[in-house]
A and B are shown apart, each in its own frame.
Chain A
Amino acid sequence: MRGKPKLAVYWTGGCGGCDVSFLELGPALLDVLSQVEIVFWPALVDTKRADLEELPPRSITATLVNGTLRTEENVEMVRLLREKSQLVVAFGACAHLGGVPGLANLASREEILRTVTGNGFRLAPPPGGDAEDSPPELLGAARPLADEVAVDYTVPGCPPMPSLIGPFFEALLSGDLPDPGHVFAQEQALCKECPRTREDRKLTKVLRPHEALPDPQECLLDQGMICMGPVTRGGCGAACPKAGMPCTGCVGPTPEAGDPALAMIAALGSLVRAGDEGPAAFAAEDRVLDTLVDPLGTFYKYSLPVYVRARRAA
């Protein structure tokens, strides 16, 4: 490869956590940075859109995009980046699956604007400015990166953990890249790398994380916490369950699980019990399931825009 690989990092509708996540590589980050040339990274270096426009097509080796697509400007920028890049990488849960901001898709664009800005609000240029200075229009819904441009690889997570970022840079810098479409995480469920022990495969209550101090060894799901481990890709080393927090599914569902909500419904349907099964237990089983607050938001915390486009037309 001639010269250093050129790297771009861009954020769309995100929180900035993905940009910070690179720091978690620790000393390894210095190795990475010494081997790449950063051509565009608004969070880190002073580069503007005009600089990007001047670059020849496909001159950037890899562009890492984090954040959900939320505004018209986001879409323009990722299209521009796609044109200038050999590889486009969805970096983090928002670019991968829509992310937490994607939960806003349960409300319409108009409802969101009304709630945030009040009635009668219109996007307008600042005083003395012209139309070009107006804030960009919100899209009708938050959307994952792959909705707009071809995505070569995904580094998932909210934010991506060093154990997922590291292998991506190793592959990029060695030139030994996996097949397009590869997700830098395990195909197998997180449970495979979770040290907790599973015994009693019955769920008799649903507990939210603040309601109990979990046993340090026992499976969190067995203890009544809604842990998304069974349907979520491993690769993070079961970081949250090890720390006593149930997995919320940020790395995304395993290929086998598919839709994370429907896969969790299947799992919970098998696990929930209220005494012996039968008509006498139906009401009590329902009460157990009723204690699961906001199942939709729990199951699709990071992936609503990918799996739920099913909202009824107004």
Chain B
Amino acid sequence: MAEDFEPKVVAFLCRWCAGAGADLAGTSRLRYPPNAIPIRVNCSGRVDMEWVMEAFRSGADGVLIGGCHPGDCHYVSGNYKTRRRVYLLRKVLAEMGIEPERVRLEWVSATEGAKFARVMREFVSELKKLGPLHLEGAERAAEPVAARGRS
């Protein structure tokens, strides 16, 4: 079964660096596993950890967050905020019994198409080793998020 398992990845990519890096990987025709559903965001600092959890509850086996290298953030410090949030989230995940490695934060610049392809290869291979993430009662857990009105 492990050999057939294709992990589902949700990738939140910032539009200035990691998103452009992913585009470059594509236009350069680099080969990398097609397991990620990319979601472009304005800044890695905009990624709400709620989205990460919703991705897991919706069936993702791993979540990749791609942001600008330190010092390059278009909004100065969004990537630093996300780095600290991911650090804390991973601790919380570990306490929940979810492998923290399922959330990966990477700095990818607009010129680093090759790095993006390498990160995807590494991440998918790691997730294959971890196996699928089965969340108990996942559909019900999604309710509090969907039901709440964020005004």
* Chain A residues proximal to chain B, CB less than 8 Å: 106, 255-256, 258-259, 261-262, 265-266, 268-270, 272, 277-279, 282, 285-286, 289, 292, 294-297, 299, 306-313
B contact residues around A311 at 8 Å (CB): 96-97, 135-136
Contact call B57/A286, Cβ cutoff below 8 A: no
Is B129's CB within 8 Å of the partner chain A? no
Contact call B48/A262, Cβ cutoff below 8 A: yes
A259 to B148, CA, bound (A): 10
Contact call A312/B134, Cβ cutoff below 8 A: yes
Given contacts A295-B95, A310-B98, whether A289 and B133 have CB atoms under 8 Å apart is: no
Offer 29 A-B interface pairs, CB within 8 angstroms, sorted by A.
A256-B150, A258-B148, A259-B50, A262-B89, A265-B49, A265-B89, A266-B48, A269-B88, A270-B81, A278-B70, A278-B71, A279-B71, A285-B83, A285-B84, A285-B87, A289-B88, A292-B88, A292-B91, A296-B91, A296-B95, A297-B95, A308-B96, A308-B141, A310-B96, A310-B135, A310-B138, A311-B135, A312-B134, A312-B136
* Chain B residues proximal to chain A, CB less than 8 Å: 48-50, 53, 56-57, 70-71, 77, 80-85, 87-89, 91-92, 95-98, 133-138, 140-141, 144-145, 148-151
Not counting A277-B77, A285-B83, a sample of 12 additional A-B residue pairs whose C-beta atoms are within 8 angstroms of each other reads A262-B89, A265-B92, A266-B85, A286-B87, A295-B91, A296-B95, A307-B144, A309-B138, A310-B53, A310-B96, A310-B138, A311-B135
A contact residues around B149 at 8 Å (CB): 255
A282 to B71, CA, bound (A): 13
A296 to B144, CA, bound (A): 18
A256 to B58, CA, bound (A): 21
Contact call A294/B85, Cβ cutoff below 8 A: no
Least CB separation from A257: chain B residue: B148
Given contacts A256-B150, A278-B80, A295-B95, whether A262 and B57 have CB atoms under 8 Å apart is: no
Contact call A296/B84, Cβ cutoff below 8 A: no
* Shortest distance between the CB of A246 and any CB in chain B (Å): 17
Contact call B83/A282, Cβ cutoff below 8 A: yes
Contact call B95/A106, Cβ cutoff below 8 A: yes
Contact call A262/B148, Cβ cutoff below 8 A: no
Least CB separation from A187: chain B residue: B151
B contact residues around A285 at 8 Å (CB): 83-84, 87
Contact call A313/B95, Cβ cutoff below 8 A: no
* Shortest distance between the CB of B132 and any CB in chain A (Å): 10
A296 to B145, CA, bound (A): 18
B contact residues around A277 at 8 Å (CB): 77, 80
B contact residues around A294 at 8 Å (CB): 95
A256 to B141, CA, bound (A): 18
Least CB separation from A272: chain B residue: B84
The 8 Å CB contact of B56, one of A258, A270, A297, A310, is A310
* Shortest distance between the CB of B70 and any CB in chain A (Å): 5
Least CB separation from A271: chain B residue: B84
Contact call B53/A259, Cβ cutoff below 8 A: yes
A48 to B91, CA, bound (A): 46
A255 to B148, CA, bound (A): 6
Question: Among B48, B91, B96, B148, which residue has the most Cβ atoms of chain A within 10 A?
Answer: B96
Least CB separation from B150: chain A residue: A256
A272 to B81, CA, bound (A): 9
The 8 Å CB contact of B133, one of A256, A258, A268, A312, is A312
Contact call A256/B97, Cβ cutoff below 8 A: no
Given contacts A106-B96, A265-B89, A266-B48, whether A310 and B148 have CB atoms under 8 Å apart is: no
A277 to B89, CA, bound (A): 20
* Shortest distance between the CB of B45 and any CB in chain A (Å): 9
